[in-house]
Homo-oligomer: A and B are copies of this chain.
Amino acid sequence: MPQQIKTLCWVGNIDGHLRLLDQTQLPVTLAYVDCRTVEDVSEAICSLRVRGAPAIGIAAAYGVCLAIQHAEHNIKLRACEACEYLAASRPTAVNLAWALDRMRYVLQQESVDNNSRELAKRLLGEACAIHQEDRQQCASIGRHGVKLLNSLPQGAGILTHCNTGALATGGDGTALAVIFALADAGAKPHVFVDETRPLLQGARLTAWELKQRGIEATLICDSMAAQVMKEGRVAACITGADRIAANGDTANKIGTYGVATLAQAHGIPFYVAAPTSTFDLTLDSGDLIPIEERGASEITCGFGKVTAPDQIAVYNPAFDVTPKELISAIVTELGVIQPVSTQEIANSVFIPERKVKVL
C-alpha cells in the first residue's frame, strides 16, 4: 500500500481528531472522513467505515480521546462512559473491548490526576501506543506466518476470505501480512480472493490491496471456493480472526467456517493469523462467543438495487465460529501455535492481566 494511504491516523495534538479512510467507498472512491466526536467514531465503526478487529480497537481508543476534549468536569467519568458506549458498537471482535480496557486502565491509575490536559495526554499516549504496537505486531505476524507457507512451490495458490490487510489493522495486516511477507520473500503467491458477501470486503478491499502491492490475485464469489479447491489450485487457506476462545475455536467473518470445512474436505491446510489481543481466554470454547447479526438490507439491497422480494425473512450473522479441529495453526505476533489446543494456547499467549474496575 503506497505510504500516503493511511487507514486511520490521529491528526494534530491532543486537541486533534481521528482521520479514517472511508472503507465503504472503496474501491471506487478514496475518501477520508474526520471524526471529531465519540459519536462520529461509533458511527464509523457501526457502519463499517473502519472495520477489521485490530483497526476498530485502535479507532475506539482514539474515540475515548475525543470524548474528553473540551471537558472540564467529571473527566474520568466521561471517558469511562465513552468506553462503555464504544464497546457496544460491535459485539464480536474482542480487540475492541481489549483496547478499551487498556484505556480504562489508564483512567484508574491513581497517579493520573483528574486534570483534563494531563489525562488527555495520557489517554492519547495510550491510544498511540496501541496503534504503534499493532503496527509492530502485524510485521511479526507476517514474519512468523511465512514459516508456514515458505515450503509451498513458487506461484502457489492461497485462498483468503474477507479483508485482513492494512485496511483492517494499524499496520500491514494479519493474514494478508503473511501473504505480503511471502511475496516480499520472492515466492510470487497467487491469491484467490473470496468476494465475501454481504459487504464484499474481499472484492472491494482485499483485491484492491493486492493490486496496490502488485500481487497476483483472482477474485471469486464465495460459492466458487469449493470449485477452485477441487481444481487443485489452492495450496493453503489463511484468514484473520475477530475472537479466539481459549481452546482455539475462532470467530471470523461469516463464511470462514465454510472455507475451513471445504479446506479439510480437500486436504488443504487452513491457517488463522491474529494478534494475541484477539484471544479471549475467559471463554472456554467458541460456543460462548457472541455473534453479531446485522440488518437484512445488507443482503436484500446491498448493491444499491433491490435484489430480493419485499418482506422476505433474512438471516445475516456477521461472523461464524470455526472449531479448532479445522484449524491447522494459528499465527500470532509471538509465533506459531500448532497444534491448536487449549494447552498450546495457554503456553503461547501471554495477555497482561489488567484488573479494570468500573468507576
Contact = CB atoms under 8 A, between A and B. Distances in A.
Interface stretch (A63-71, A138-146, A302-310): A302-310
A219 interface: yes
Instruction: Work out how many copies of this chain go into the complex.
Output: 2
Interface in A188-223: 192, 194-198, 200, 203-204, 207-208, 211, 216-223
B219 A222 contact: no
Contacts of A9: none
Given A208-B309, A299-B221, A320 B226 contact: yes
A305 B204 CA distance: 11
B303 A305 contact: yes
A136 interface: no
A185 interface: no
A314 B28 contact: no
A111 B170 CA distance: 79
Interface in A307-326: 307-317, 320
Given A219-B313, A224-B315, A200 B307 contact: yes
Interface stretch (A75-83, A116-124, A250-258, A333-341): A250-258
A312 B217 contact: yes
A262 interface: yes
A260 to B, nearest CB: 9
Q: How large, as a class, is the contact surface on chain A?
A: 35 or more
A5 B218 CA distance: 40
Interface in A222-268: 222-228, 230, 254-255, 257-258, 261-262, 264-265
A188 to B, nearest CB: 14
Contacts of A155: none
Contacts of A230: 257, 320
A219 B299 contact: yes
A258 B219 contact: no
A153 interface: no
Interface in A280-316: 299-300, 302-316
A166 B307 CA distance: 19
Contacts of A299: 195, 203, 219-221
A314 B261 contact: no
A27 interface: yes
B223 A222 contact: yes
Nearest to A161: B223
Contact of A304 (B28, B305, B314): B305
A223 B308 contact: no
A312 B193 CA distance: 10
11 contacts: A197-B222, A197-B223, A204-B307, A208-B308, A211-B309, A219-B299, A219-B308, A221-B255, A224-B255, A230-B257, A304-B304
Closest 8 CB pairs of A and B: A223-B255, A303-B303, A226-B258, A222-B223, A197-B221, A203-B308, A27-B309, A208-B309
